[in-house]
Amino acid sequence: MAFNISHHSSSIRKLAMTKPHGRRADEVGHYATREQLNNERIEFRRSLATLDKDIAVLKLQLDRVKTSGDYAMERVENSIKRLETRIDEVDERSEVHSEFSSSC
Contact 16, 10 (CB under 8 A): no
Contacts of 23 (CB under 8 A, 6+ apart): 31
Domain locations along the chain: 20-103
Positive or negative, the CA dihedral 83, 88, 93, 94 is positive
Instruction: Please report which confidence band the pLDDT of residue 31 belongs to, taking 50, 70 and 90 as the band edges.
Output: low
Distance CA 87, CA 20 (A): 94
Residue 23 pLDDT greater than 80, yes or no: no
Share of the chain above pLDDT 70, in %: 65
Question: 50-90: per-residue pLDDT in tens?
Answer: 999 999 999 999 999 999 999 999 999 999 999 999 999 99
Residue 9 pLDDT greater than 90, yes or no: no
